Structures are given as structure tokens and as C-alpha cells.
A = this chain, B = another copy of it.
Amino acid sequence: MSGKYVYRFGDGRADMRDLLGGKGANLAEMVRLGLPVPPGFIISTQACRDYYRLGRNWPGSLEEQVAEALAALEGECGRPLGSAEDPLLVSVRSGGAASMPGMMDTILNLGLNPESAEGMGRSSGSAIFALDCYRRFLQMFGDVVMGIPHRRFEDVLETARRRRNAPEHGQWDEETLRGVVQQYLKLVADHTGDPFPVSPRRQLWMAIRAVFDSWNNQRAIAYREMYGIPHDLGTAVTVQSMVFGNRGPRSATGVVFSRDPSTGARRLYGEYLLNAQGEDVVAGIRTPRPIADMAGELPDAHAQLERYARLLEGHYRDMQDIEFTVEEDRLYILQTRSGKRSVAASIRAAVDLAEEGVIDREAALLRVEPEALARLLHPTIDSRAALDVLATGLPASPGAATGSIALDADSAQARAEAGERVLLVRPETTPDDIHGIAAAQGVLTARGGMTCHAAIVARGMGKPCVVGCDAIRFDPRGDSVQIGDRVLRAGDILSIDGATGRVVLGEVPLVQPDLSPYFRTLLAWADGARRLGVRANADTPADAARAREFGAEGIGLCRTEHMFMAQDRLPIVQAMILAETERERRGHLERLLPIQRADFAGILEAMAGLPVTIRLLDPPLHEFLPNLEELGAAALGSAPTAREHQLLQRARALRESNPMLGHRGVRLGISHPEIYEMQVRAIFEATADLVSRGVDARPEIMIPLVGLDRELAFCHELIARVAAEVAAARGMSLACPVGTMIEIPRACVVAGVIAGQAEFFSFGTNDLTQTTFGFSRDDAEAKFLTRYLDSRILTANPFVTLDRDGVGRLVEMAVEGGRRARPDLKIGICGEHGGDPASISFFHQAGLDYVSCSPFRVPIARLAAAQAALSASRPASDAPSST
């Protein structure tokens, strides 16, 4: 329990973060770079750990080492702590290895007592300035170190304020300030039974103890729990001499970014205030001025600042956010860190830095958060607009939308077809609402989580969506909703912001997305860096075209069920389901054939030259029939028609206890081979038509829900037979790869034998997650998933980010088994996880060939895939990070 505990700034480096804390290491690094940093020293995290080990007692030689460092600091600054002439003041701050903003304690202006305050007044030439520092110190120390409620100090200020009729203490005279200081000293004495400590060294030790103790205050513990930070790291303590930007007209304080945080343009961007302290900037009493003005008022300091900003940016290889103070023409840098910025700015900054040679392209690619790209692809609400926010829900699909309220899918569609822009507002959505979602500008639901039906469909369509907005109440008559305390009728104008979850009354001004050349450049670099292919999930020619525009290299999942749901086909599909005989069923399928053929032709042509993976019908047949309960209620309301009766009976017969595990996917294809036959015929006929027109159509046929190799063998036979028939009829040779979804655990376990029958695998990680966990997604989200996440039984929603330990292990098994049996097996993934950056990183590591996601997530996947490839080949930490 001894050794070196105390480090002067000059002794440290950025990579000593664990020992010196983030703040301390950062200050030390700046000193090392030769930047003008107010001098100081750091008490290490080791001292804190030993302090706790010793039952909150000072370890070994700590007291001596601090005394030594303090003496050196006094010497360097030429001012002794507590001096009655020109006293040194210090700040005492906490700082652990991991950032825990606002969780632990800080004390400023330490070192003041009656004598040194007088001395400071004299040396600064302003008694008011010195008294104000003294007052601030007493209040902060009393609150943080002595535990006196903040409110008690505010009461004193309030009384003084009322007495003087001066609303702001900044305008108080010396007498008033002296009175406040006296009352503060009395307040402390009354509260603690002891006078306020006058010895600056005693003040320092009390402050150090307070910082160490704050490591284990309730909010710090809770914060560490929440972010998974170990409890035994401890905090360092930084003791730094104070500098003052309020020493007069040649002093100032401010904050600058090394580049414009909105656009990324390379120029200093920020604000400053003459003759002011940092907190005055924050308090907003005076209006700060743009940094450019400083070039005229404090030209030397401004030039220095510009130089240091470039130096720091080059050193940290990222745009910086810098706090500075000028004390009587002398510039001090107080802190630097990577600057928060808009997505557009982060892209431009990354591209520019790479083109300026500050960083390489790989680093630039690692700089941009893939998820953030989503915000660039959709309109957003103008940030300057005043909004009437009625409620907030979950931000389920980014982008902002405005429209007139439609309370059901049919009216949404009808009104949209009449040219109206509508917003669909529902308690929740089901597959029956697809046409309404398609017709609407955006979707708002009262129930559901981030992966509910509305969220998934809207994300897939790239439409803004807010779900789980429980402030919405639906009127049972179905013609109005109450949101918060406002009642709105169908047709009223409402807006939503899918990036934040806000629900806003009326029209809002939108900023349209504009994909900059920087965006395109970055994604082109990403394409060069990634190994994973990126495809899109798309069911229509329009979606396919959009996907292609966003850079998709094929369609990884073309679902055919939405084609069956469309209004013009559903009656035929229902008639097919109601058919009593196979012969009758085949009759209805004959009518569907030309429609499906046209569907496939459209998509294959839109993706000419690129593969299109078409999944044969997957959902259980009852999904195409009206809801049983609705049917039942309708039938009871009046004498049911013959058709209603027939529908009801069929829906009853098809009902399943667990449809997710029921008669769907290949199981349906095996019991009703005529359905798959029709689909396969449509694919081959469409291909034949296109090929004879010279279009390079590349279909791939995918079988859903396979768990047994013989299921696939059955389909293989059927497909070969139909291919031969169409080929014979058209007089051309036709063949296409046949593969399978891997979406149930058994398929992963026996992937080797399944690969014997499959030319490609595509992981359906949605269903695989459901079956691996034994979670029904809808039920889990509604009933217990939130509780699991809140209590950290689960650390992430496995329907959003792939569960590596469980589902991921099965994916790895399947990849190993499949590739062992068939080394050239092509492997992709087409679940929702295909667009999630963390999951993409896993898919890269697992050796997949491509990911497939909704068109709007294609750019995100391209960047995430590049980052995955780069992270795998580069050391974990690319650049020293700043606090």
C-alpha cells in the first residue's frame, strides 16, 4: 500500500488513463504536447483503491507526496496556497478511467479564506471579483464536502437579492457580497457545529476525501451498474491551479470546435465571452460572440487557439471540442475531447481528415457511427421550429412525417389514393394493415415495442414510425383519438418524428435529406474495405430499385406473402384456401399464376444482372383469412352469409395453438405442393420471358423453415420437374440455385446434411431467435422483455442485436457444418439483424458471405460491414481517445 501515488502533469501520458483517470491523462497529454495548460498534479486511482482497502484511511506516503507536489505547484505558479498577497487557488476534480459525467464531485476556487480573499482582491484589483469567488467556493464546498443542502445557500442569496432589488448577483456591490459571505460562514458553523476550515491545506484534504468518497455515492454506483463499469476501479483526483477569464478586458473564456459540427467544414467554430468565467457562458446571462470576432479583439490568443486546435486535431486524429480561457492575454487550454457533431459533419470531417492525410481511410471509416446514417436518409424536422409536442413514443423508424390522421388501413388507402397525405394512427398493426401502411406517410401506434409489426414493416418500407405511444386513447366509436389531453378527429393534421419518438400537433417544417458527395465517398471507401456482400430485402420493383440506388448488390429476401395479401389477389387467395379439392385449388392457382409471374418479372428486371432470392410462401394459410374473432362477432351480429359461414368454418379448421411453430413454410409446401408449384412456375416463366428479351434475370429459389434434409429433397424434385416443363415449353435451358432458410435450431445442428441439398443458406435470425430462446416475439415484447431488459437479465433485446452466446453459437455451428459438407456453400442472412451494425460485426466474424436488410439500411450495412472487416484486421484501439 505505498509507492508512487502522485503524478505531476508533466509525468503522465494519454495511455495512463487507468491510473490517472481520463481527465488527468488528457491534461498530462496536452502538457506533453507543449500546450499551455494551467499546471497541476494528479492523485492516482491506485491511491483511491488503497484508501478503500484501508477502510477509508490515507495510504502510506500519500500525505507526503501531495505536500511535495503542492509545493512544486506553488513554486511553478509563483503563488502560495492561502497567501494573503496573491494566493494560489486550485480546482479539485474527480476522474475515473471510464467517463461518468456528473456522477462524482468537483470543487473550484479552493484555497480561499478571509486573508487570502483579501489578498486576491488586492492582487486582482477587484474586491468584488475576489468576494464572488469566495462566495462560490463556500457554497460549493459546503454543499459537496460538508453535505449542507444546496437550498440553504440559495435561501441566503434570495434574501440578499430581495433586499437589494438587484435580481442578479453579478451586479451586487462589495457590501452585499461581504454580507453573503458572512451569512454563508454562519450557515456552515450552525449546520456543522464547527467554523468553516480556514486552513487551505485542510480544505484540500477534505476535498480529496470527498472526491474519493463520491466514487461510492448512490448515483455513481447506479451509473456503473447501468453501464457495466466495475466497482473496484476507483477515481483519480486532479488538483489544478485556477486561471480566470474574468480578470478584465484582456481576459476571456470560451469553447471552440476545430471544425463546424453541423457541416464538418474546416474552420474554428464556437463562442467566447470577454471578461467572463466558464459558468457565465453556460448561464446565458450575456450573449456569447462568435469565435471569429476574437481575431479582432484578442488577435494573439486567437491565432494561438487556431494553431493549438490543429495540433490537437492532428494528434487525436479527430475533430476536437476545446475549452479555453484567456487570462490577461495569456491563453490556457483547459480541456479537449472528440467533438460531438451532426452525422453529416462527422462524415465530412472523416473524409476531409483522410484527404488531408491526418488519418487514413480506414480510420475515417471507423469514425462514423453506421446507425447514424439512418438520419441522413429521411426528412427531419427543422431544428429551429417551435413544436407543440403532444406525447412521445418509441422511435421505431427514422424520419419525420406529416399527414392527416387516418384511423384504419382502408380509409388510409382510400384517402391516399384520392391524393391526400395521411398518417396512419392505430392501437397496433397486423398483416391486414399492410396496404394502409404502404399508403401512409408514416405510422403511429399506441402499443408495441421496437420490433413490433408496425416497426418492422415501416423500417422495411423506410417510412417514419413511432410505436408504443401509450398516451393515445382510441374512442370506441372509431372516429377520434385523444393524445395527452387533446382530442383529434380523423382528418386532423399530425406529425411524427421517427428519430426521437415525438408526436407533434399540426404541420412541421421538414428538412429534406441531401446525400452529400462526402457520404458517397465514404460509402465507396466502405465498399473497398468490406468483405461481406450487402443485399436488400425487397418485395416490389420499387423497393428493389431503391435498394439498388442505395448500393444493394442483390435481393437477399423477396417475400411472396405480401404479393398474396394485396387487395386484388386476396379474394383469389381466399378462394384457393376455401377450395374443397386439389383440383379446385389448382383452378384458383391458375388465376394467380400470371399475377405472380408479373410480380417476379418486375423485380428480376429491376435487379437485372444481380441475384434475386425469392422465398416461396411462408406464413400459415390462416393469415390470409379474416381474423377468427372478428368473423365470429360479425357472424353473430346478423345471419351470416354463406361465404362468411364458409370463411368462419375454414378459419376454425386452420386455427393453431402456436402458429409460429405451425403449419407454414416448407410444411405447407409439402402438404399443398400445388402452391409451390405455381410459384416456381411463375419464377421460371418470368425468367424465360426476360431472358428471351435479353434481360439478365438471376433468380434464386429459397425454401423457408427447413429442418430436415428430406424436406428440401422434396422441393428440389418439384423444382427440377417444373423447370424441365417450362424449359421444354420455351425451348431453352433453365436452371437456378436452390437454397434454404436456416431459421430453426435443428437446421443449424444438422446443417451438414442439409447442405447436401442446398446451394445456399440464408439465416432467418428472427425466427431462429424466437425458437432458440423459446420467445414468441410479439408475446415477449408485450409481456416480459421490458422487465428482462430493465432488470438486466438480458443486456440487449435479442430481436434487435443478435445474441452471440446462444443464437450466434448456432449460426457458427451451421456455418461450420454447411461448409464442411459443401465448401462452396454461399451463406447469407436476411433477418432484421442484417441491418444492425453490432450483428453485422458478428456475421463478418462468423464468415458469412453477405447480409441482407431493408433498402433504407443498406448504406448502414455497407459501412458496418467495412468497420467489421477493419476492426478484425486492426488493433483494437486505433487512436488515443480524448475525454
Chain A residues near B (Cβ < 8 Å): 629, 632, 636, 656-663, 667, 670-671, 705, 707-708, 710-711, 714, 743-746, 749-750, 753, 767, 770-776, 778-780, 783-784, 787-788, 791-794, 803, 805-807, 809-810
Contacts and interface: CB of A to CB of B under 8 A. Distances in A.
Contacts of A787: 670-671
Nearest to A784: B667
Contact of A807 (B629, B746, B778): B746
A773 B806 contact: no
A656 B783 CA distance: 9
A30 to B, nearest CB: 42
A670 to B, nearest CB: 7
A772 B744 contact: yes
A792 B710 contact: yes
Contact of A776 (B661, B753, B788, B793): B661
A745 B771 CA distance: 7
19 contacts: A656-B778, A657-B776, A658-B660, A658-B776, A658-B779, A660-B774, A661-B661, A662-B779, A662-B780, A670-B784, A708-B793, A710-B793, A711-B793, A714-B793, A745-B806, A745-B810, A746-B803, A746-B806, A771-B771
Contact of A788 (B659, B670, B745, B793): B670
Nearest to A794: B708
A750 B809 CA distance: 9
B656 A657 contact: no
A794 to B, nearest CB: 7
A662 B776 contact: yes
Contact of A746 (B749, B773, B780): B773
Contact of A658 (B661, B663, B743): B661
Nearest to A792: B710
B744 A663 contact: no
A806 B788 CA distance: 29
Interface of A is mostly: helix
Contacts of A784: 663, 667, 670-671
Contacts of A744: 772-774
A805 B773 contact: no
Contact of A636 (B636, B773, B806): B636
Contacts of A667: 783-784, 788
Nearest to A708: B793
Max chain B Cβ within 10 angstroms of own Cβ: one of A670, A773, A810: A773
**Which 6 A-B pairs give the minimum distances between C-beta atoms?**
A658-B776, A661-B776, A744-B774, A746-B806, A745-B745, A663-B783
A661 B779 contact: yes
A793 B805 CA distance: 31
A178 to B, nearest CB: 57
Nearest to A810: B749
A665 to B, nearest CB: 8
A453 to B, nearest CB: 10
A790 to B, nearest CB: 11
A809 B810 CA distance: 12
A763 to B, nearest CB: 14
Contact of A783 (B632, B662, B746, B772): B662
A750 B714 contact: no
A805 B754 CA distance: 12
Contact of A661 (B714, B745, B770, B806): B770
A792 to B, nearest CB: 7
B707 A773 contact: yes
A705 B774 contact: yes
Contacts of A805: 749-750, 753
A877 B538 CA distance: 58
Given A658-B660, A744-B774, 14 more contacts: A659-B779, A660-B661, A661-B776, A670-B791, A671-B784, A707-B774, A708-B793, A710-B794, A714-B791, A745-B745, A745-B771, A745-B806, A746-B807, A750-B805
Contacts of A803: 746
A656 B770 CA distance: 14
Contacts of A773: 707, 744, 746
A658 B794 CA distance: 21
Contacts of A705: 774
Contacts of A809: 749-750
A632 B632 CA distance: 10
Contacts of A770: 661
A524 B657 CA distance: 44
Contacts of A779: 656-659, 661-663
A670 B791 CA distance: 10
B774 A661 contact: yes
B656 A806 contact: no
Most buried by B among A656, A714, A753, A791: A656
A803 B632 CA distance: 40
**For A776, A792, A807, which residue has the most chain B Cβ atoms within 10 angstroms?**
A776
A519 to B, nearest CB: 39
Given A658-B661, A670-B788, A793-B708, A746 B767 contact: no
A23 B119 CA distance: 121
Contacts of A656: 776, 778-779, 783
